[in-house]
């Protein structure tokens, strides 16, 4: 009997099936109720006691090997079948790749323009103290921006707050570097405002600061004109209107000719032909002195803009809330 088992073991080992039918034939021969292995188990009763152990073990090995071999060949044949069905000329499934957020696009574009002019990026913390957000920037003690209405204070501590503008990074840069300074600071800012189509309590700004000997208002104007043309097109015109910021003197707000109607007048520019895009000015000598820079030797200019606003103007987006909803149908368009 041992001989018979060993013969079947060898047969199992060498067996190969090219078709499912051949495999099924082998399975019936080996493992069916009336197959070789069942018959051997029936005959096993007649094996003399002293051989039972060896024969029993070998018989079990045969059974396991046969089962393994059949399972192995079954899987291989199924895979072959799948491959035979493959149509390699079919196009692949569309894969849903993520896209960059429109605010990131805009931020990167703005950064790229200024880095071409030699500006380097600097960043600062979102949780700031009064000195960096207000005092070092020449905000008077009673300035309304310091009010709870506008500023989120941490734990009602009037000294620790979420920064309301990226101008705070100017102060950090002046803390750590000596002129010449040429830097832009992108980042998130926070204001206690009701959320609407035009305002949000979280938004993004880019701040610019340039300090050196003999920096003039003409340098500011030329830099911003170049920037506006790069972002909104070569035809773009700029205009500067006098304004007020505590940290710049003189201060201005800059408009660009409406990028949608080319200055003729439309709904977006409210028929004025102009769009306001940023605040700017010459760094107030008080700010330079507060930050350890000699205002008799150095002058500088600064500017700050909202990334949301720039993106809305560039792409004609009417509702600021779209940027924060993360609706894929909106995001996919950029």
Could you tell me which stretch among 20-28, 229-237, 262-270, 275-283 binds ligand DAH (CB under 6 A)? 275-283
Name which of 69 and 309 has its Cβ closer to ligand DAH: 309
Local structure of residue 282 (DSSP, 8 states): E
Task: Look at residue 317 and give its three-state secondary structure.
Answer: coil
Are the C-beta atoms of residues 263 and 257 closer than 8 Å to each other? yes
Which of the stretches 84-92, 222-230, 299-307, 311-319 binds ligand DAH when contact is defined by CB under 6 A? 299-307
Q: How many other CB atoms are found less than 10 A from the CB of residue 184?
A: 23
Three-state DSSP class for residue 93: coil
Residue that the structure tokens 């949301």 belong to: 308
Does 304 interact with ligand DAH (rule: CB under 6 A)? yes
- Contact between 281 and ligand DAH per CB under 6 A: yes
Interacting positions 218-257 with ligand DAH (CB under 6 A)? 245, 248
Task: Tell which one of 12, 138, 151, 167 touches ligand DAH (CB under 6 A).
Answer: 167
Is residue 258 packed enough to be buried (19+ CB in 10 Å), middle (13-18) or exposed (0-12)? buried
239 in Cβ contact with 269 (< 8 Å): no
Whether omega before 28 lies within 30 degrees of 0, making that bond cis, reads no
Strands (DSSP E) found in the chain? 120-121, 127-129, 153-154, 157-162, 181-190, 202-212, 238-245, 248-257, 274-283, 299-306
Nearest approach, Cβ of 161 to ligand DAH (angstroms)?
A: 14
User: Least distance from C-beta 115 to ligand DAH, angstroms?
Assistant: 18
Binding part of the chain for ligand DAH, among 81-89, 172-180, 211-219, 298-306 by CB under 6 A, reads 298-306
- C-alpha span between 213 and 222 (Å, rounded): 17
Kindly state whether residue 279 participates in binding ligand DAH, applying the rule CB under 6 A: yes
User: In the complex, what is the shortest distance from the CB of residue 145 to ligand DAH, in angstroms, rounded to a whole number?
Assistant: 9
Taking the least distance from each CB to ligand DAH, the nearer of 166 and 257 is 166
- Cα 294 to chain centroid distance, Å, stands at 41
Least CB distance from residue 276 to ligand DAH, whole Å? 11
**171-210 positions binding ligand DAH, by CB under 6 A:** 207
Among 260, 261, 259, 241, which residue's Cα sits nearest to residue 251?
241
Question: Does the footprint of ligand DAH cover residue 69 (CB under 6 A)?
Answer: no
Q: Per rule CB under 6 A, is residue 163 in the interface with ligand DAH?
A: no
Binding residues for ligand DAH (CB under 6 A): 165, 167, 207, 245, 248, 279-281, 302-304
């Amino acid at each position: 009997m041992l001989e018979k088992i060993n013969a079947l073991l060898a047969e199992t080992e060498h067996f190969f099936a090219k078709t499912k039918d051949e495999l099924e034939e082998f399975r019936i021969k080996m493992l069916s109720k009336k197959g070789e292995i069942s018959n051997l188990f029936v005959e096993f009763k007649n094996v003399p006691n002293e051989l039972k152990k060896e024969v029993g073990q070998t018989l079990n090995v045969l059974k396991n090997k046969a089962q393994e071999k059949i399972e192995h060949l079954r899987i291989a044949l199924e895979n072959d079948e799948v491959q035979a069905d493959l149509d390699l000329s079919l196009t692949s499934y569309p894969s849903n790749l993520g896209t960059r957020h429109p605010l990131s696009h805009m931020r990167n574009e703005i950064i790229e323009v200024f880095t071409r002019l030699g500006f380097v990026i600097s960043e600062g913390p979102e949780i700031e103290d009064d000195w960096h957000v207000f005092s070092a920037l020449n905000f008077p003690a009673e300035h309304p921006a310091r009010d709870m209405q506008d500023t989120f204070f941490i734990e009602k501590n009037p000294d620790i707050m979420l920064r309301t503008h990226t101008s705070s990074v100017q102060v950090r840069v002046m803390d750590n570097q000596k002129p010449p300074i040429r830097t832009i600071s992108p980042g998130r800012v926070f204001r206690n405002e009701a959320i609407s189509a035009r305002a949000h309590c979280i938004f993004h700004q880019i701040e610019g600061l340039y300090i050196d000997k003999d920096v003039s208002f003409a340098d500011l104007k030329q830099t911003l004109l170049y920037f506006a043309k790069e972002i909104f097109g070569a035809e773009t015109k700029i205009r500067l209107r006098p304004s007020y910021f505590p940290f710049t003197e003189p201060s201005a707000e800059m408009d660009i000719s409406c990028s949608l109607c080319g200055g003729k007048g439309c709904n977006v520019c409210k028929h004025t032909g102009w769009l306001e895009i940023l605040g700017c000015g010459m760094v107030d000598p008080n700010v330079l002195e507060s930050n350890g820079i000699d205002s008799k030797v150095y002058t500088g200019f600064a500017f700050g803009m909202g990334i949301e606003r720039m993106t809305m103007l560039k792409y004609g987006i009417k509702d600021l809330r779209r940027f924060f909803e993360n609706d894929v149908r909106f995001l996919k368009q950029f």
